Amino acid sequence: MEIHTGATWKISTSFPFPLCSNGFLGEYGPECFLILVVILIYNGLACIFIFLYRMEVASKHTAPTMLYKITHFQTYLLYFLLVMLSGITVFMYPVLKEQLDYKQRLEMKVGPIPTFMLCDSCVFMIYDSPIFLIWFLVAYICIALAYIILFSSGIVTYKALKVSRASAAVRKIQKNIFMSLVVSTITHLGLLFIPLATFFMLSLLVPEWSKSSIVKYTSDFMVIMIQQHGAVSAVTMFLTNNLLRRTAKQLFYTEMS
């Protein structure tokens, strides 16, 4: 993610809110956007798989609850929606490629846009296209369902740890690992999807105040959040995971000695 948004695509935002490319693949803006979508799906599935694995481990010696079964059903539903999203993407891609026509329609709606935005490196979301709106809707349904799966599996894991027959010391370690995972995941996904949701909503509305300096600094901050989300979530895990922090200290002192 960091390499794609900071080097190959080198994304930035302008007004009225296109995704502008400054990297060596900048002329392939729509393709770079779809690569970003693939990376986001990979990030989301990785987090879900980690939570499901923790749920399976914690629930190994307990009877499956209704929420446990619902979580698995939600996971299969997400897989189905992702397949549907992939199919819609095939039809959405040609629409996303027709940037010049959309920019001309946008100028008729909001007035002249800067000349540099007319190049292939600046990509607008085609909000007046039904197929794009369907793609957008299905994508955010997938995101919402992914958060529900994370929440459901987290509850199952927490309840299973409370009734675990393991020793108090083992339960303490397991709970700390679980809470560290929850905090890190919230940080990781929050730094990704909060700025993305903000960007899409603002670009959909295209408000008159979008040219203010406050919004400009906000858009720059959103890009920084996306580019540095991995580093921030890694630091968060290190600060909240006692076992990881203790192991790192032991490794450091061993190398120093």
> Per residue in 230-245, pLDDT tens?
777 778 877 887 777 7
Interval 135-156: pLDDT, tens: 989 988 998 899 899 899 989 9
Write the CB contacts of 180 (distance below 8 Å, at least 6 apart in sequence).
237, 240, 241, 242, 244
In the predicted model, what is the mean pLDDT of residues 29-50? Answer: 86
| Placement of tokens 């027709």 in the chain | 98
Residue 212 pLDDT: 52
Interval 86-132: pLDDT, tens: 999 988 888 888 888 888 887 887 777 777 777 777 888 888 889 98
Of the given ranges (53-62, 145-154, 209-218), which has the lowest mean pLDDT?
209-218
Residue 96 pLDDT: 86
**Residue ranges per structural domain of the chain:** 2-256
Report the predicted TM-score, pTM, of the whole model to 2 decimal places: 0.77
Percent of the chain with pLDDT over 70: 85
- For the ranges 32-36, 152-156, 194-198, 233-237, the one whose mean pLDDT is highest: 152-156
Of the given ranges (31-45, 189-203, 204-218), which has the lowest mean pLDDT?
204-218
